[in-house]
Structure 1
Amino acid sequence: MRRDEFTEMRAFLEVARERSFTRAASKLGVTRSALSHTIRTLEERLGVRLLARTTRDVAPTAMGQRLVQSVEHHFEGISAEIDALKALSDKPSGHVRIVCPDDAIDLVFRKRLKTFLREYADIQVELIVDNGFTNIVERQFDAGVRLGEAIARDMVAVRIGPDVSYSVVGSPEYFQSYPVPQNPQDLMEHNCINLRLPTSGGLYAWEFQQDAREFSVRVEGQMVYSNISSAIDAALDGVGLAYAPTDLVSQHVDEGNLRVVIQDWCPTFQGYHLYYPNKRNHSPAFSTFVEAFRFRAGRT
């Protein structure tokens, strides 16, 4: 394969994966117009239309999908061999892309990233915040982050954090206008701050437990957010009650800016895990990242 043919094929595969000329051009480090010209040249040389373009989307045609299935694994093999050669150097290098919920940034990564980045100066880490159930294979992420209970069985799961407990909190200002709830059912009389689930579009039902019984309560309130950090800020402002990881609100509680209620009813979940497909060849950068963030009891 000539160099220009290799470049054309790599460009086509990137557009097919990203379903976007803009995103593919950004990953390839070229302009959108140059990438469009490369694809057009490839289609003219082959005499077939490989991509169907609309104003909103780009998708492989039937012939384009056939080409993807035929050549993609060859390019993955080339990439794996290049990564293996890089592993022979003294220090791993490369790009690691992880998708995670917003609270995992503070609960897991922020505490240890500074040390990791200093030790592995040739590794670039990209953390994309998405509170939905992202398809990491389709979106070309190296791994995703979820609580242990939410990981599919066909994925490799590596624990990266301790168990996560949740608390219901409100500000002193809020409790000047509302009574302190004594049980989860009392929340129906309160202004609760809801969390929108990106994947389903529904509102997250607050989870509780009593002895061995687990149940959920669909709360109501004036405010809905798509991330936990904003819900905590709203609780601090006296807008309503928030349901959030205990570690993220503990400092506010200690300082007297938030008060924990109905704590005996609040559950504890398995800690956050990295999850990724079970394939043989992972880049040295990713393997190094996994080992560095693997949870070990007693380590801060």
Structure 2
Amino acid sequence: MKENLNDLHTFMVVAQERSFTRAAAKLRTSQSAISQTLRNLEDRIGIKLLSRTTRSVAPTEAGEYLLNLLQPAIEEIENGINQISALKNDPAGTLRISADEYGIQSVLWPAVEKVIQQFPKISVEIISDYGLVDIVEGRFDAGLRRGGLVSKDMIALQVSEPIQMLTVATKEFLARYGHPKHPKDLVEYHCINLRLPTHGELYRWQFTKQGKTQIITVNAKIVFTTLSPVLQAVRSGVGIAYLPIDMVQPYIESGELEETLKDWRHSYEPYHLYYPHRREQAPLLNILIDALKENFNRK
């Protein structure tokens, strides 16, 4: 038999106070409401729990037995609720986030760094994965992916600008082999590419000019599954790479890399943080969201 916890709590308070008047004041309800609750409880259980007179209320033998069971259990529940509520003022615990490598570097880490410095009792576990992850099944608090990859049944919050891609190589490489004039010319060049873990296929580069988009399957001289070694390889001069602007901009400014196909820049959807429930129900996630929004709004 599953009894209503509120009814059991009402019985416990009346039995402790030995008074309907004091119990009503403590519970902030009426004596008649308490009386009705207790009658319903006794009817469901099938045994009398309280002896009532015009002057006093006292638990019966069965009521005393139930009271001894309830007191430590309800006190433990109340203590647990108080500890959980305290997290609002002194947040503690672990956040688990699924994100791809570039999203971690460009979007997630600047916010996480801020969170762990401000809230020393919060820990963050970040799993790097370019695949499409079921964050509920994987027991993640949230995921970070480009907008078009987010499941429609998730709550999604934009946390970055659109991701602008640049086609780059070293100046020496371009001086030796020349600049491609058109994206389709890339099939004649050594390129550094990605293999997508979601489907196992090679990444197809997208280019946009005057509203028209071209999708190119390049000649992959070397293939990686993450972006960091792509950047390392293009800096070594082995070919042309297709990378987000903020990864290559410092090397363009220093003269180490040079952009080609400048008129064909393409932008992908911005990153979104996605999660399965209302953010108010997850105080640690709420802290991370605030940090991500602050960084995004500052740009």
Match of 2:52 in 1: none
Match of 1:147 in 2: 146
Separation in 1, partners of 2:188, 2:281: 51
Does residue 146 of structure 2 align to residue 156 of structure 1?
Answer: no
Separation in 2, partners of 1:242, 1:295: 32
Match of 2:10 in 1: none
Deviates more, 1:154-163 or 1:227-236: 154-163
Q: How far 1:281 moved relative to its partner?
A: 7.2
Q: How does 1:1-300 map to 2 (within 5 A)?
A: 85-278=84-277, 282-294=281-293, 298-300=297-299
Q: How far 1:197 moved relative to its partner?
A: 0.6
Runs of 4+ with >3 A deviation:
81-84, 86-89, 278-282, 295-298
Q: How far 1:270 moved relative to its partner?
A: 2.9
Deviates more, 1:110-119 or 1:81-90: 81-90
Please give the secondary structure, in 1, of the residue aligned with 2:234.
Answer: helix
Please give the secondary structure, in 2, of the residue aligned with 1:168.
Answer: strand
Please give the secondary structure, in 1, of the residue aligned with 2:207.
Answer: strand
Task: Answer yes or no: is the 8 Å Cα contact 2:100–2:128 preserved in 1.
Answer: yes
Task: Answer yes or no: is the 8 Å Cα contact 1:84–1:284 preserved in 2.
Answer: no
CA offsets 1:111-164 (integer angstroms, 9 cap, x no match): 333322111111111111111112212211111111122222211111122221
Please give the secondary structure, in 1, of the residue aligned with 2:152.
Answer: coil
Taking a change above 3 Å as real, the CA distance of residues 297 and 128 of structure 1, as seen in their structure-2 partners, is closer
Deviates more, 1:128-137 or 1:87-96: 87-96
Give the TM-score normalised by structure 1: 0.68
Q: How far 1:296 moved relative to its partner?
A: 6.1
Match of 2:42 in 1: none
Taking a change above 3 Å as real, the CA distance of residues 83 and 159 of structure 1, as seen in their structure-2 partners, is farther
Task: Answer yes or no: is the 8 Å Cα contact 2:112–2:124 preserved in 1.
Answer: no
Separation in 2, partners of 1:274, 1:83: 30
Taking a change above 3 Å as real, the CA distance of residues 210 and 82 of structure 1, as seen in their structure-2 partners, is farther
Q: Give the letter aligned to residue 161 of structure 1.
A: S
Structure 2, unmatched stretches of 5+, are 1-76
Task: Answer yes or no: is the 8 Å Cα contact 1:93–1:284 preserved in 2.
Answer: no
Q: How far 1:243 moved relative to its partner?
A: 0.6
Taking a change above 3 Å as real, the CA distance of residues 133 and 115 of structure 1, as seen in their structure-2 partners, is same
Taking a change above 3 Å as real, the CA distance of residues 174 and 227 of structure 1, as seen in their structure-2 partners, is same
Q: How far 1:277 moved relative to its partner?
A: 1.5
Structure 1, unmatched stretches of 5+, are 1-77
CA offsets 1:50-93 (integer angstroms, 9 cap, x no match): xxxxxxxxxxxxxxxxxxxxxxxxxxxx9xx8698245552211
Number of residue pairs matched? 221
